[in-house]
Structure 1
């Protein structure tokens, strides 16, 4: 019998976790574990939110109270001297998002905290200590730190459509005269950096920091470098890569592509000595640099060139003589406000070994067996000056050569020039590629597969979901979704990782972010993205199609721009995170009013840009549907979606302390719109909407716009359209697919949803898998339409499929009356068509499991409900006596047991249960 509590610090969306086991009655304390972020440094808000998880093998645990202590030192906390905050015993079952209520924290302050709780089964001891530190909270504290850079080209550099810019190597020598207590570096390195102290690389992050619109906000990273420094002489070394800062297409389409300038950096090293004094080492004119290093070019679209002959041995150590290096210049700051990065950087999260290497003419084609995102590490031998060229692609032509037309003008080529004399191992630093195949030229002999390792790169987030079912097609689609989603997490959610785009399109994640959250802990990523959207908003309220607005696309649609609102709703629903709504509500409201003022005509929203993007076309050979019967009127899409967003805004207004007239405003506008919508688009003689596309019908059904007396018939007419006219196949695009699976299921046709999910013929997700896809395509017919258009790693067509997997097939759903899975709805649709599901989701409260299997009329269902939560459970059955929970009748274990419409309903508190029905 052991009880375990995991403490978590949440700041906006930053999650820092640790674990401890302690309680009375002989339960022992165990070692603290930091699970989700190794260095809780540089927190950027003064009121962080604290959370903890309870892990125990005791059933039916409910928290009744908590006590939090926060102190300015670990020693004080160990002595129960809570000089920053002592909450006292608080009667509450809240164990997530408890707002820090202590002394106001200042820049660089440190806070140490612990918690104990009281449950219905007893009191725990104090946890072990957790920790966070504040970042630099004011601009004034950065003013004396100079931005340094070199705003000129070096030999070999060029600016144009295919810009080339060599990496900047920077050094700063300094001396520390006293014994060191602590030391932290605060670093802004634009566009990307690697950091070294005395020759040792700091951190295992890659492609850092996360991208932003640098004219609006600039992220700094914080590192504890106490162990790397010594009294006496030291040296800081930095390599600056280009990233999104020095844009890949300089002076090319300047009306569209945003450029920021040459790479630059600002750094503070704050050292506290054991005698209580401190020093701050800053970037200044004494920093030395060169661009005559081995990284000759680094460009996200075009690749990296590394000349090993130009390596600079020990350049980042004290032994190096930098007298021939240039002094860096003071340069203009980027323009954006400085912010602590509240989301983890990217890391190498996985590796992939190739499955084959085949010779093709004078080159070799490497097959990784999986469409992946990252780069290739190579091991090669050769003579000095030999050039190994690596060109990346997602697929091959029929003759076995690379197919690269779909990459457009992205050159996607890495080059390694050997120094010679021994085996050389190399991988790039400042690029990434989306690829399955690699064409390798320049080798003198056939390579071995073990000479290559694929490095999978994405944001450092946990995989929180697992799903497996009895249907192999659904399982493969899930795997494809998993690889596609994580590959497109690049400090922001991008649309594709391989061609000359890689943009954070809003419309791709309107509902997608919700489905993704069941697989990955994406809270920090999407909290940061809400800020990106806010910063990109125009003064009059407009929101762009991509954010950060690296492309100047302001299309003023609803289905794309409304993602600002739906993502905030997802964060609240899945994580219990209200901060996104609180922070962004004024800007969301500004956009709502902007759209009303500019595009509301006769109570209908008349602005749409992209339509129901990527509807399956009438012919396998064409990219875009041309038949009007397949296309949904843009005003139908924008009006229905605007209604949906108004209802979300009404909910938001009720959740936060805002003007109550806002609620009246949203209610009035939505009712007027609903009335006008039905008057114009509902055909009461046929009981269909508009031209009867599935999208035209599914949106008003999903959003509750259909008059109740017509609702069932509209739904039946929609299912007739799917089953008869579309042969039980998908006919929706990006917009309609976001609500299709859940709407079918909610209206009683989970069997039809299952058919769509398990189809293997065109158009379907299974069709992609059957035709070799290992991620999700951009087009339903990506293998037959003009392949130059098709990205083979997109996630926008997933719609609400992943949500349907977890909520409707596994029965893992947060009760909409609560948030963050405090109360869980476990109501799988056992009759949809599957024989078993084995799924889990690690929620904010803990692990939720659902593993069910049918055998004829018998059901065996094993579930886990995490501590401090409860679940409403539904199983098929007409008699309560036919249901057993852990071998007993439901009344002896469950609460509120009842029968309704052939279903047995009951509620369970936390624990592990085996439910059997016959």
Structure 2
């Protein structure tokens, strides 16, 4: 017996050109007639990405399998039920495995990193057949398999794909060889597959001032273009992608080193093209070389992301806020593609831990992220366990450890890092809150422990986390474009506040996991850090560096004593007013500032901050036509030019983390126990919004909240699944305890 799910299969490579895709295939007669097949399961994986077909038919509607994991320790394999394909055919069975570069040999990273896991890609598969008489047959990659060239001459996640339709049906043989792969890394896929989710047709096609044919799909999205076309053989159609226009032309500068360019070469007949070994982040495309007239029926955008069920909805009386929520949802779609990335378009697309630490709570409301983030956290644990300092890397999977930086660039050493490292705790906290899965929380606990143990050497004798490097309040809007870490907030104040939150939840997680000694250890660390914070950073209600982020964190993370908390709330509100309700926080403070305001009695200020439309604000991008959340508050300047900073993405969800506050405070739908085993219905109305409707599909069923102002009255209606207990808190302070059903209440 063996525990190898691909037992007997060999990982196959070829001598194909590095940029090209290879097809591995075998054709064979089965041991029994195909009509006698009662079971057929195909298991496959790759160092690279693969597409499997039986008799020319795809075995699955997933793409970019096996996805991106920490390949050194976790190589996912997929299992496909292919009985219908095998039994429904006749004659010899043909198996095809298309192999592309994917993330394994993707030249990943920024600033010329060109990071790869290896220079040789490979694929392996097993087909297990069961016949009506109980006999079995196993077909494996290895001896007898052939390899050949394909019509895909170039495939790169960053740079795009070239497909030459003239080569379809005219392959050339390639030499096949076995590739050594550590089979102990094989794990069954638990992360949802990446799939085509929807398609969008162009909303406008026109000629740019420079003569380019431009296409607008009306929505910043992630995926590719699919098209059917006929023209003279050898005609080349070039598609370039970008998220925005700048002065009437395609705005490609934010892509940095990513070409984001697909090329399709026509055969002379009717050709269909779909570049499934790449993906692009774009709203606009330029199309060059199209034979004849390009119309809205000529091509479509295919939206691609990991499978996630939509669970949360929100709408209100302010259309700009609705668009902001829409932008958050689409930002999650585009960046939840195999891993939770920072952005989907430029030469980066990495699993930055700080971004998902900030956004996990919003993400878990909008979509069912239970399996997606659980599996990613397994990669985080593996990377942390094997990192030199056993600290959480800045990116997971950590491909940057293989970066080949140019001589004029290097990353400073990052050991324990607040917010980024805290993803090991804050992401499980969001999942625990949303789904209440104690078993999975226990699985996540070891990475929490590793993170906190990596932090301890950087805690000075004062009890403050004030040693080591920090990214701090990244992308503070007052920082110069070229200095994203030049924030107003003292990075040690930020780190120490974060340590209080992380140690406190780690204590809770340790208790759930049955680690009583650790629970006490982290509770003591939280208490000690909290005391050190107030002793060294707080004086007469003023927190060191006296800016909005430090107050927001100290309040939201419950770091302050009652008197200091009240004073901090007043100071925070004063700073927010002094800034004219424009945003003054970066990655650290933005998810928590509205919470800090509303929880200290400054609801009107929180609403004013949310509803501000001048730059920087959440609604400034909305007024500028954004359809996803931007990386910078001013990624596009008021004159329509793109921010000059090197980091200027138009699809970055981190600053959209205010959505969590919108759902819970404006919408009023809050978890009162892990997994929504109990809910709290508590809308907090404020100036500028007259009604709101929110719903969330809990594990117990759908919870819905709707409220509106009716003259001087506040009217609330909520629908609860049968048996679900809830407390309803009305604006006048009245509390109603209910269980299940529909409830309609009014308040002054």
State TM-score, norm by structure 2. Answer: 0.93
Contact 1:625 1:631 (8 Å CA) reproduced: no
Q: Distance in 2 between matches of 1:560 and 1:405?
A: 27
Q: Which of 494, 497, 503 does residue 344 from structure 2 map onto?
A: 497
Are the counterparts in 2 of residues 402 and 437 from structure 1 also a CA contact under 8 Å? yes
Does 2:496 match 1:639? yes
2: CA distance, partners of 1:391 / 1:140: 43
Contact 1:541–1:587, Cα closer than 8 Å, also in 2 = no
State yes or no: 1:774 paired with 2:632.
no
Deviation, 1:371, is 1.1
Corresponding residue to 1:285 among 143, 159, 168: 143
Paired position in structure 1 for 2:333: 486
State which of 718, 727, 730 in structure 2 corresponds to 1:872: 727
Aligned partner (choices 689, 693, 716) of residue 543 of structure 2:
689
Match of 1:904 in 2: 734
* Equivalent in the alignment of 1:741: 594
Task: Work out the CA distance in 2 between the residues paired with 1:425 and 1:239.
Answer: 18
* Correspondence for 1:404: 252
* Structure 2 residue aligned with 1:198: 55
Pick aligned residue for 2:528 from 660, 669, 672: 672
1:632 Cα deviation (Å)? 1.0
Equivalent residue number for residue 408 of structure 2: none
* 8 Å Cα contact 1:407-1:788 kept in structure 2: no
3-state SS of paired residue (1:657): coil
Query: Is the 1:216–1:335 Cα contact (8 Å) retained in structure 2?
Result: no
1:463: how far off?
Answer: 1.2
Whole-angstrom CA distance in 2 between matches of 1:335 and 1:403: 44
Shift in alpha-carbon separation, 1:649–1:510, aligned structure 2, 3 A: same
Name the structure 2 match of 1:57.
Answer: none
Shift of 1:849: 0.7
Q: Is the 8 A contact 2:718 2:744 kept in 1?
A: yes
Q: 1:436 & 1:584 partners in 2: Cα distance? A: 37
Q: Aligned match of 2:308 in 445, 461, 469?
A: 461
State the alpha-carbon separation in 2 of the partners of residues 141 and 770 from structure 1: 53
Residues 691 and 140 of structure 1: is their aligned pair in 2 closer, same or farther, counting only changes over 3 Å?
closer
Kindly indicate whether the alpha-carbon contact (under 8 Å) linking 1:177 and 1:232 is maintained by their aligned counterparts in 2.
no
- Contact 2:152–2:164 under 8 Å retained in 1: yes
2:206 partner SS: strand
Secondary structure (helix, strand or coil) at the match of 1:142 reads coil
- Does residue 614 (structure 1) correspond to residue 463 (structure 2)? The answer is no
Superposed counterparts of 1:401-800, under 5 Å: 401-421=249-269, 423-537=270-384, 538=387, 540-552=389-401, 555-556=414-415, 557-606=417-466, 607-617=468-478, 622=481, 624=483, 631-658=488-515, 660-684=516-540, 687-724=541-578, 726-784=579-637, 785-786=643-644, 788-799=646-657
Q: Per-residue CA shift, 1:244-301, capped at 9, x if unaligned?
A: 01123699966x724323221111111111112212111112111112x100011001
CA contact (8 A) 1:852 1:859 kept: yes
The one of 693, 710, 734 equivalent to 1:855 is 710
Separation of aligned partners in 1, 2:16 and 2:470:
40
Q: Which 4+ residue blocks in structure 1 deviate beyond 6 angstroms?
A: none
Structure 2 counterpart SS, 1:176: coil
How many pairs were matched up? 723
User: Which residue of the partner structure matches residue 674 of structure 2?
Assistant: 819
Cα deviation code 1:384-415 (max 9, x no counterpart): 000000011112221x2212111111111000
Cα displacement (A) at 1:623: 5.1
Distance 1:700 1:514 in 2: 19
C-alpha distance in 2, partners of 1:326/1:286? 13
The 3 A distance-change label for structure 1 pair 634 and 249 is: closer
Alignment pair present for 1:218 and 2:67: no
Instruction: Tell me by how many angstroms 1:624 deviates.
Output: 4.1
* Corresponding position: 1:346 with 2:194: yes
Q: 1:304 to 1:214 in 2, by over 3 A?
A: same
Residue 391 of structure 1 is matched in structure 2 by: 240
Contact 2:380 2:447 in 1 (8 A): no
The 5 A counterparts of 1:42-441 are 139-150=3-14, 152-154=15-17, 157=18, 165-178=19-32, 179-230=36-87, 233-248=92-107, 257-291=115-149, 293-312=150-169, 325-326=173-174, 328-333=176-181, 337-360=185-208, 361=210, 363-398=212-247, 400-421=248-269, 423-441=270-288
The answer for unaligned runs of 5 or more in structure 2 is 402-410, 638-642
Corresponding residue for residue 45 of structure 1? none
Larger Rg: 1
Taking structure 1 as the reference length, the TM-score comes to: 0.76
User: What RMSD over aligned residues (CA atoms) do the two structures have, in Å?
Assistant: 2.1
- CA change 1:763–1:376 in 2 (3 A) is same
Provide closer, same or farther for how the CA distance between residues 153 and 388 of structure 1 changes in structure 2, counting only shifts above 3 A: same
CA gap of 1:618–1:592, structure 2 versus 1, over 3 A, is: closer
Aligned to 1:38: none
- Kindly state the Cα deviation for residue 584 of structure 1 after the two structures are TM-superposed: 2.6
Which one of 827, 838, 842 corresponds to residue 697 of structure 2?
Answer: 842
Q: Which residue of 2 aligns with 1:86?
A: none
Matched position secondary structure for 2:675: coil
